[in-house]
Structure 1
């Protein structure tokens, strides 16, 4: 394409030379005429003719010059446009013989060669720029994905240089160590936070290529956090570790939940041992008295044996509750669910607890819904859960008090309530009420217990049957325990008429 433009320019130059030659020839012819003694009229006529011809030649010369200049301008313009485009091919200009024989040819070819050299360099540079841009976009995408991956990690991750400045960190580190976002920690030196400085001191104390140590953090609010800290030296590009750089990656693993679990396990073992110790001590004491012959008559011997039996039953209930809780938490509890009316379970529980209520002069009433309320549950486990609630209500209600058991339907949920007029409890006690072995300190002298009944009830209702248990209480006014269970579907509930329920 560039060759065609040069050839067109060469033709314009050849035409320019022809016009100049004709003009010079006309001037040569006119000059003798003006010098000879021809008649004045003829001389004027010839002069006018020559001038007219010369004028035409000059006009044509100007037009050719304009065309030639335009041709050069278009040629150079096309070349510049080619330079701005991508993927252009290298061209070689061919100078026409007409221009090559003049001074213009050498200069024109030199300009074209220089432009071609620039064109080659520009093309190579543009290819390098395109390759670099692709690599930059690829590295930027990889870097963004790595940042997203680090931010997903819930534990703090940091990269620290040899001077102790943060090069990079994830969001967990920003939040837990109270560090500003990574855009403000790059080489600014503004990292004067107590937690970060304390971490750096611990890292310096445990210097090593692959150091592992535990770090305990006490916050101003009194909360304690336990971390497992791992440090790794960052390798250079060739894979060698350089002590001169001192860059170090720091990984923090929050072990606080594990410490809490260990603490609760220790408390569980201690409480279980304590609860087992009392009945075992009573059984041993009365057994020794029987063996020593302290029971001299049948009545005393019967009393000792009755105490031993009572404590044995208490110990058996404790072991059974522990086993049931362990089975439920491990997911190996054998459950046999069936569709049954919730009122049947409540009525059975009421019958079993009537004697205990009567001993304290407590009125136990069942306010059951006249509707048939089917639930899909393990009958024995749900009966045990309801008995635990009624038993607690009877235990912590003073004499001549009231305990009321209700059932009702709320939308598609069946609700069971056990309300008492007992001693009640504080909000702080309600938060821990369903923990294993937890007992309200102010109520321990009112009735014996292991602190496992409500914990087991919560497991039965929520973990086994997918329900919900809650409590509302006021000190010296009483408590209301609420169980919410999904109503059994038509596929699981048998079709039968509601039965009459008597008040206990």
Structure 2
């Protein structure tokens, strides 16, 4: 509204200035004509001196009336300019200034309409700009928080954007005298010269020069940071418009360390399975060939049959262990967790392992807590995990020594300890003790095994029961496995004691 009043004021001022010059000229002209005309008429009646005085008086009276009329018209026009709704229908037709008033009103209405449209467009543009700025800030924040490195540069090899990951592990430090991007990369300097990785530099060079017609190029490389080697994959993609005019290139660098580790573990797994299957099958084949020759005595044949049976049992255990682990990990085996008392599960496991310990003259002791230890577990799976730990303890403990099973409460957890006095595990083998098919090299000859038992125990404790398992060991002194699982039943059942009736 302030702009509208300013326009009205400007229109009034301009109108007044234009009219003032015209009015004064008209007034002087009328005054002169009136004086001359009055003087000629009156001079015929009275003397010339009186005629001149009378002519001046009548002319001045006419001039005063004219000025008053003009002033009234100006006030009326001003009021109508400020409030157009006050204008009378016949004003523009009858008033001397009707055309001027109509033109002024028209100009003001046009200006007001243009101003309203301009303000609306301005508001819309401001909202669009704010929205785009917010989206830009969001995109930059997302890109900067990615672990994947991202480089964007135009067709002139000038860097447009790089996130923090790209700057942190792909590029060298920047010169303080150079202009740098927000992430630390030098602007105005070829991006290829800033990388410390030859494979990435070659990929960028090929992309920038565009000597190849390939739309997307990739390479893999190894980068060492803080003494740790990590595998990375870089993918460069050319950007072009609908007319195939080059716009720039985007390079995405991702950490594929876990993927590479999984591939390595898979290869090792296949190799281990092949080895574990090949060893007993080779023995079976050799024994069968000896039997087929027919040169064996009955006692020797019986012994060979026994060896074959042992190898078949070994294959069966291996296949069963692999199947059990695969089924549990894939979810094929249904996990049935219910409320149980932990010591009941441990007693059952103790009963299973006691005969084996007795055969080796090993003292087996179960020191179970006197406290009630409620747990929400799959009884069969947890029981199998404890049996595996106890079986390993007895297997790798020499005859005449001791194996101990303990349970206790610790804060909000139930703790299970399986301690033996056997060969122990070398320190360099401890980080791999729960890996599939891993067997301590120093203990391979002392006892047979598949290398899957502890991997299965680890999965049951950590993945199925949200617990943890750790190991401490000293060579020739023994090993202690500690299992921790959450205490508490899923359904807390409380008995409600009713008060006896009043008339009892």
Is the TM-score greater than 0.5? yes
Ranges in structure 1 where 5+ consecutive residues have no aligned partner: 18-74, 76-96, 98-116, 496-504
Instruction: Report SS of the residue matched to 2:371.
Output: coil
1:322-373 CA-to-partner distances (Å, cap 9, x unmatched) read 0011111111113344444332332333233234334444321111112333
The match for 1:213 among 210, 214, 218 is: 218
1:227 aligns with 2:228: no
1:479–1:230 Cα change, 3 Å: same
1:240 aligns with 2:243: yes
1:114-148 CA-to-partner distances (Å, cap 9, x unmatched) read xxx99999999988866654443343223223323
1:353–1:473 Cα change, 3 Å: same
Corresponding residue for residue 280 of structure 1: 281
Instruction: Give me the whole-angstrom Cα distance separating, in 1, the residues matched to 2:15 and 2:287.
Output: 129
What is the CA distance between 1:265 and its match in structure 2? 0.9
What is the CA distance between 1:285 and its match in structure 2? 2.3
What is the CA distance between 1:458 and its match in structure 2? 1.0
Instruction: Report SS of the residue matched to 1:407.
Output: strand
Corresponding residue for residue 391 of structure 1: 391
Instruction: Give me the whole-angstrom Cα distance separating, in 2, the residues matched to 1:376 and 1:436.
Output: 27
1:407-462 CA-to-partner distances (Å, cap 9, x unmatched) read 11223322111012233334442221111011122222322212111001111222
What is the CA distance between 1:406 and its match in structure 2? 0.4
Instruction: Give me the whole-angstrom Cα distance separating, in 1, the residues matched to 2:14 and 2:160.
Output: 63
What is the CA distance between 1:314 and its match in structure 2? 1.4
Q: Are the aligned partners of 1:233 and 1:246 in contact in 2 as well (CA < 8 Å)?
A: yes
The match for 1:158 among 148, 151, 159 is: 151
Instruction: Report SS of the residue matched to 1:366.
Output: strand
Q: Are the aligned partners of 1:325 and 1:456 in contact in 2 as well (CA < 8 Å)?
A: yes
Q: Are the aligned partners of 1:339 and 1:492 in contact in 2 as well (CA < 8 Å)?
A: no
What is the CA distance between 1:261 and its match in structure 2? 1.4
Instruction: Give me the whole-angstrom Cα distance separating, in 1, the residues matched to 2:250 and 2:298.
Output: 80
Instruction: Give me the whole-angstrom Cα distance separating, in 2, the residues matched to 1:167 and 1:254.
Output: 23
1:154–1:183 Cα change, 3 Å: closer
Instruction: Give me the whole-angstrom Cα distance separating, in 1, the residues matched to 2:128 and 2:414.
Output: 64
Instruction: Give me the whole-angstrom Cα distance separating, in 2, the residues matched to 1:214 and 1:339.
Output: 53
Instruction: Report SS of the residue matched to 2:232.
Output: strand
Instruction: Report SS of the residue matched to 1:349.
Output: helix
The match for 1:145 among 138, 147, 161 is: 138
Instruction: Report SS of the residue matched to 1:321.
Output: helix
The farther-off stretch of 122-131 and 413-422 is 122-131
What is the CA distance between 1:241 and its match in structure 2? 3.0
Instruction: Give me the whole-angstrom Cα distance separating, in 2, the residues matched to 1:173 and 1:200.
Output: 13
1:131–1:422 Cα change, 3 Å: same
Instruction: Report SS of the residue matched to 2:377.
Output: strand
What is the CA distance between 1:8 and its match in structure 2? 12
1:182–1:217 Cα change, 3 Å: farther
Instruction: Give me the whole-angstrom Cα distance separating, in 2, the residues matched to 1:352 and 1:138.
Output: 69
1:445–1:128 Cα change, 3 Å: same
1:193–1:368 Cα change, 3 Å: same
1:467-495 CA-to-partner distances (Å, cap 9, x unmatched) read 22221223343221111223342738899
What is the CA distance between 1:170 and its match in structure 2? 2.6
Corresponding residue for residue 267 of structure 1: 268
Instruction: Give me the whole-angstrom Cα distance separating, in 1, the residues matched to 2:151 and 2:458.
Output: 42
Corresponding residue for residue 55 of structure 2: none
Instruction: Give me the whole-angstrom Cα distance separating, in 2, the residues matched to 1:490 and 1:261.
Output: 36
Corresponding residue for residue 421 of structure 1: 421
Corresponding residue for residue 498 of structure 2: none
Corresponding residue for residue 27 of structure 2: none
Q: Are the aligned partners of 2:167 and 2:183 in contact in 1 as well (CA < 8 Å)?
A: no
Q: Cα RMSD (Å) of the superposition?
A: 4.6
Q: Are the aligned partners of 1:171 and 1:181 in contact in 2 as well (CA < 8 Å)?
A: no
Paired residues, what number? 414
Corresponding residue for residue 371 of structure 1: 371
Corresponding residue for residue 175 of structure 1: 168
Corresponding residue for residue 432 of structure 2: 432
Instruction: Give me the whole-angstrom Cα distance separating, in 2, the residues matched to 1:195 and 1:289.
Output: 63
Instruction: Report SS of the residue matched to 1:247.
Output: strand
1:272–1:493 Cα change, 3 Å: farther
Instruction: Give me the whole-angstrom Cα distance separating, in 1, the residues matched to 2:471 and 2:14.
Output: 101
1:196–1:188 Cα change, 3 Å: farther
Instruction: Give me the whole-angstrom Cα distance separating, in 2, the residues matched to 1:118 and 1:462.
Output: 76
The farther-off stretch of 127-136 and 154-163 is 127-136
Corresponding residue for residue 304 of structure 1: 304
1:193–1:240 Cα change, 3 Å: same
Q: Which residues of 2 match residues 455-494 of structure 1 at below 5 A?
A: 455-489=455-489, 491=491
What is the CA distance between 1:210 and its match in structure 2? 1.2
Q: Are the aligned partners of 2:435 and 2:455 in contact in 1 as well (CA < 8 Å)?
A: yes
Instruction: Give me the whole-angstrom Cα distance separating, in 2, the residues matched to 1:494 and 1:326.
Output: 39
What is the CA distance between 1:227 and its match in structure 2? 0.6
1:188–1:293 Cα change, 3 Å: same
Query: Which TM-score applies when normalising by structure 1?
Result: 0.68
Ranges in structure 2 where 5+ consecutive residues have no aligned partner: 25-77, 79-95, 97-109, 173-179, 496-504
1:446 aligns with 2:446: yes
Instruction: Give me the whole-angstrom Cα distance separating, in 1, the residues matched to 2:490 and 2:228.
Output: 53
